Amino acid sequence: MSLAVYPGSFDPITYGHLDVVRRAARVFDRLVMAVLVNPRKAPLLPAAERVAAIREAIAGELPDLAPHIEIATFDGLTVDFCRQLGASHLVRGLRAVSDFEAELQMAHMNTALAPGVDTVFFMTAVEYAFLSSALVREIARFGGDVSAFVPAAVAARLGWPADGGSRP
């Protein structure tokens, strides 16, 4: 049974991440979304809320794939988490050439640390090529409407309920 880990901050999960999840869950029997808990960074959403939002987003948007997807938190090295689970692959998304250099460096470093864990990349759909959690965080911090960029479970947590209600 093939097992892959999709690590990230997911602060918050966006439609771009969900697109990668959808593709990866069709390739691997089990996909574990690994949410990094980084005590050195102040997140927009605490780890428990990021996990809850991911769970709700998958249940709402990818219900058929939900049985193949697990969500976990981790701290420390991604490759250690992969080895702990016995994962053979690590999944990352690529939006544009600008992502490539940092992702290539990270993939090579992870391979050097754990040769048994191979990194695979999925190209994020072109309609999400401009999307990033960092931009969503910035828009949210200034009170902007993020509902076009993130699943309803995230938008609601940021004060933009899907029923068109006004911001609290």
> Would you name the residues annotated as active-site residues?
17, 41, 95, 133
What are the φ/ψ torsions at residue 164 (nearest 5 degrees)? 80, 5
Helix (H) or strand (E) holding 69: strand 69-74
Site string for ligand PNS, 60-89 (x = CB under 6 A): -----------------xx-----------
Residue, CB closest to ligand PNS: 8
Site stretch for ligand PNS (CB under 6 A), options 1-9, 21-29, 54-62, 138-146: 1-9
Q: What is the 3-state secondary structure (H, E, C) of 35-62?
A: EECCCCCCCCCCHHHHHHHHHHHHHHHC
Query: Measured from the CB of residue 140, what is the shortest distance to ligand PNS in angstroms?
Result: 16
Q: Within a 10 A sphere around the Cβ of 166, how many other Cβ atoms?
A: 7
Q: Which residues bind to ligand PNS, rule: CB under 6 A? A: 7-9, 36, 77-78, 106, 109-110
